[in-house]
Structure 1
């Protein structure tokens, strides 16, 4: 059984391979890396790349993927919509994290890319509504300078800035790291607040989705 992963950066490939090896060794992963999709979404909005996202999802489905996990928060909604259109289950990686966050109370979202904030807020509102918790208290923080370091290949510098921003949060019940590329910052923080990241719960949920889909066929 194959689970396809749609990435917008190659840095995610080894992260998810390692999680698969640890947690789900029976699953085969197929990685599709499309950096152009994030670039287009940043330049003109996620809607501008929706057709391209749909084409990639359809291609992965045609190649036999049991399900698709989109690891980019910015284009996650477009990927899920594409899955509904072509008949393959698609999960955005941050959905399980968002579902857990809204049940915790006051949420502070950290992102390194401004284009990620609106999609993440929309997802949290959707999950809060589904949980019967409309009007959830969600605050957002853009970690200044972190994306520039990430884009330049200074991943350690990016993670240090994210960790410092996490430790500066006080008025929250839970902290959400909006992008999968931020996950490793959790090991550099000193906060006592819970910090949620998306790769592990997202992969676990996608594997369950793929397994259920394959079993139903």
Structure 2
């Protein structure tokens, strides 16, 4: 670890709220499905659709550390990071963590999209379920369940990574709670946009999703 350290702002308010809302929504979606509260399950899903759309847009125009162009790196960069994590000090997502974010977003998108088309023909029919029939409808239902299981594995890996980094002296949890992180003094502080704009964007996207699907 480098000797000289500085405290830098790495996560804007929207990214942090998105992260913790995602945790609550995923838990709520699991609970409502397990307890056959399918109307509430669908409503939480509509909120998640809007939230994901807002995060994708924020990944194009938001804070530097939130942008896909900043943390989606080449396979060579990922391999280099795995070989020597101290080679290039950075803030925000490291090359491996950046790809884990992409995988998580893609899985969540697959989950909500299949949910919109999913139906059990008893308690719940997604708002787009009428567009698919027969084998395709059954396949979508199976994909919805499989993706959920994969998400559980990815979440477990994410938690393990947080613990490992904490044991190595890097508290990722505090950074996501406060937005601030200790970093090498040579690091240039990233450009952070006001999270308020992201929150307004999320509110608009969630309202649009609710209006269209609910």
TM-score w.r.t. the length of structure 2 is: 0.30
Larger gyration radius, structure 1 or structure 2: 2
Q: Which has the higher helix share?
A: 2
Q: Which has the higher strand share?
A: 1
Higher RCO, Cα 8 Å, sep 6+: 2
